[in-house]
Amino acid sequence: MSLLQLHNRPFTVFDPTNRKHRTWYNDFVTHGTWGRCPVRFMCPDDHGDVIQMIQRSLIRYYVLKEFAK
């Protein structure tokens, strides 16, 4: 294992219910970089890229939140 790999940001799965995850995505949208994010989000192969995956999960989260009964 490379010494550089020991200091990488940890991987995590984006969770739209997690306020920190939503805040980190907002920072990305605001600043145009993941440099302020302390983690790296994983993306399953069938979801395209990380940004599309996050956008889809946020849309699903907010639609269900708004229209849930």
Lowest mean pLDDT of 6-10, 32-36, 56-60, name the range.
6-10
Q: Which pLDDT score is estimated for 35?
A: 93
pTM: 0.84
Reported as a single tens digit per residue, the pLDDT across 15-56 is 999 999 999 999 999 999 999 999 999 987 776 799 999 999
**Does the pLDDT at position 8 exceed 90?**
no
Closest CA to 47 of 57, 34, 39, 38: 57
Give me the residue spans of the domains in the chain. Answer: 15-67
Closest CA to 16 of 50, 47, 59: 59
